A and B are shown apart, each in its own frame.
Chain A
Amino acid sequence: MVGEHSKEFQETGRPVVGEMTGRERVMAALAGQAVDRTPVCNPTSVATVELMDLVDAHFPDANRDGEKMARLAATSYTELGFDSVMPVFTIIQESSALGCEIQWEGKDNWPTVRMSKPIWKSADDVKMPSDFLKHPDITCVLDAIRRLRQELGDEVAIIGKTMGPWTLGYHVFGVEPFLLMSLDDPGHTKLCLDRMKEITVAFGQAQIDAGADALTLPDHATGDLVSGEYYREFLRDLHTELVDEIPIPLILHICGRTVDRMDYIAQTGLAAFHYDSKNDPAESMEIVTDRIALVGNINNPQTLYANGPEQVAEEVVRNLDAGVPLVGPECAIPLQTAIENLKEIPLAVARWHADRDSSLPAASEVQDR
């Protein structure tokens, strides 16, 4: 992905800072290649109320209107200095298109699927509507990606998002019925997952066609709900199939405790795993080694939402010291998170690198970019 290189890069194999754009930096890190500095990104969402006010693009419209979606997404690059943008703030776009009842909420709250009103009961019901990709809650995402590509060019990585079959299962079957089905009839559950995979691939491919560089794959088989063995039994092979079927880097996102399944996740061939602050960075890196790039894992509710820049910097350093290749918040951040705390992430990354390499710019220079 890296274009023209300096003599130093050609000699040392290591890019000089400033030589890479945010896009190149993210894509190189996802490919396990050398970077000039650790990229900062959040593959889930960095939308906040403050950023919405700043660019006059508020929830819920910014989740349903491509132009507002793009405007709000761009702020993670233009205002925060992150190396990626993520226009798909929610995890419900395709569920809406499938017919789930959605609570779109207002400016200061996240939209959610009404999972107490499931739309499907068995594998026989699993069917992607023929006009799925023409649904307004799908086309707005594609529109936003096209706009971002046009407006930001190759400066920044544009990450799309397509929900994995396990999370779709929660939405369309309801969490309790889906989890009970997985216990009562694992074979039938696998059939459902296999059929829902078509939806994941279709939405993912449409975003690639619109210009996405990488895709987040939220598939919440979290340790707060299911065992690591569940991941192996139901999802490891399925995620490997998705790697084969989707031709750009995939970033798996699972909240909560996941160290007991990281080895399985690292076996899939997925480019990256966006991991939660419930997992220790050093321990996680020891498990995955260089088989998959970790992204994360700055704590949201405590560090980013309730604490200040000093604590944010400490968590950034903890990840960098552990060798985590992409740094950012652990998950979609609380909407009331202060911009100051988010801006601290790239600054702390710059300081950490500057401490180790005098050729790197000071944090103030990074802020100016």
Chain B
Amino acid sequence: MAELADIPNEFIKNEVDEFVEREDERAELIELYSQSAPHLLEIGAAIISGRNEDADRLTVEALERGTGALEVMDDGLIAGMALVGIKFRENFIFVPEVLACARAMKAGMVHIEPILSASGIEPLAKVIMGTVKGDLHDIGKNLCIMLLRGAGFEVIDLGVDTSADEFIDAVEEHDATLVGMSALLTTTMPNMGRTIDAFIDADVRDDVKIMVGGAPVTPEFADEMGADAYGDNAVECVEVAKRLVGVTG
């Protein structure tokens, strides 16, 4: 079993030591980071500190030296975001900092995505994502989408103010098996329930798993509305999505 001292990057070692408190997560991250190549951990460090220009440059350099795109993404970009997610969940950082990290991740993903899509790797599942009708907020949803794509899902982003019909049409058009709905306002949250009811009325509810999230949404509210799962944050959204499609790890 790896130790904290085995992580070959001082910055990440300190970050894990300072911010990761849960024993299981700490062990998992130490294992992950201690096995990663130093040049990929540099990418992770750039992501964690929100340095988009460094993330861009280091990703290009990693690819140029022959590291596979999947490895750069998993052990560099996503590995960095894993720690960002934990810091966000535990309120060590907030949305501005996460946006900066996401901007850095995007700078790296620009170089990874074309390679992955040309290689024909099958997605874990197709996910339809949107903010519910009447709600124009999309920060949380966009963070979820970025991490879902990073984790291997194909995401169809319906944007904001999405009607029940738009969700249903997208599921049918793309043959998707997962739907993610977001709401930021207490006033628009009930539209999640109405959308789920519309899936029932259209006789397509059993064709998909529905996950919901957003600042005012609670697990109890999600349950009462008839959602299959609730995610508290973007990292949890990925875990929930994997669970719903039967993927472990």
Contact = CB atoms under 8 A, between A and B. Distances in A.
B63 interface: no
A230 B94 contact: yes
Given A115-B136, A179-B139, A225-B96, 4 more contacts: A222-B215, A260-B91, A302-B218, A332-B187
Contacts of B170: none
Which 9 pairs between the two chains have the least Cβ-Cβ distance?
A109-B134, A224-B215, A300-B186, A179-B96, A183-B96, A225-B95, A112-B136, A301-B186, A301-B189
Contacts of B190: 301, 305, 334, 336
Interface size class of A (residues with CB under 8 A): 35 or more
Contacts of A176: 99, 139, 142
Given A116-B160, A302-B218, A334-B187, A226 B134 contact: no
A301 B216 contact: yes
A242 interface: no
Contact of B100 (A183, A226, A331): A183
- Residue of B137, B185, B186, B218 ringed by the most chain A CB atoms within 10 A: B186
A184 B50 CA distance: 10
B31 interface: no
Interface in B193-220: 215-218, 220
A227 interface: yes
Given A306-B221, A306-B224, A183 B136 contact: no
Interface of B: 50, 91, 93-97, 99-100, 103, 133-139, 142, 160-161, 185-190, 215-218, 220-221, 224
B183 to A, nearest CB: 9
30 contacts: A110-B134, A110-B187, A112-B134, A112-B161, A116-B136, A116-B160, A175-B139, A180-B100, A183-B97, A183-B99, A184-B100, A223-B91, A224-B215, A225-B139, A226-B94, A226-B95, A227-B93, A255-B215, A260-B91, A300-B187, A300-B216, A301-B186, A301-B218, A302-B220, A302-B221, A332-B186, A333-B187, A334-B186, A334-B187, A334-B189
B197 to A, nearest CB: 13
Nearest to B161: A103
Given A301-B221, A306-B224, A110 B185 contact: yes
A182 interface: yes
Nearest to A226: B94
B99 A180 contact: yes
Interface of B is mostly: loop
A363 to B, nearest CB: 27
Contacts of B160: 116
A137 B224 CA distance: 38
A235 to B, nearest CB: 14
Contacts of A114: 136
Contacts of B136: 103, 112-116
Contacts of A300: 186-187, 216
A333 B190 CA distance: 11
Contact of A227 (B94, B142, B189, B218): B94
Contacts of A340: none
Interface of A: 103, 105, 109-110, 112-116, 175-176, 179-180, 182-184, 222-227, 230, 255-256, 260, 300-302, 305-306, 330-336
B135 A112 contact: yes
A256 B215 contact: yes
A110 B221 CA distance: 20
Nearest to B92: A227
B1 to A, nearest CB: 35
Nearest to A225: B95
A355 B216 CA distance: 34
Contacts of A180: 96, 99-100, 103
A226 B161 contact: no
Nearest to A227: B94
A116 B188 CA distance: 18
Nearest to A180: B99
B100 A225 contact: no
A225 B224 CA distance: 26
A334 B188 CA distance: 7
A325 to B, nearest CB: 23
Contacts of B99: 176, 179-180, 183
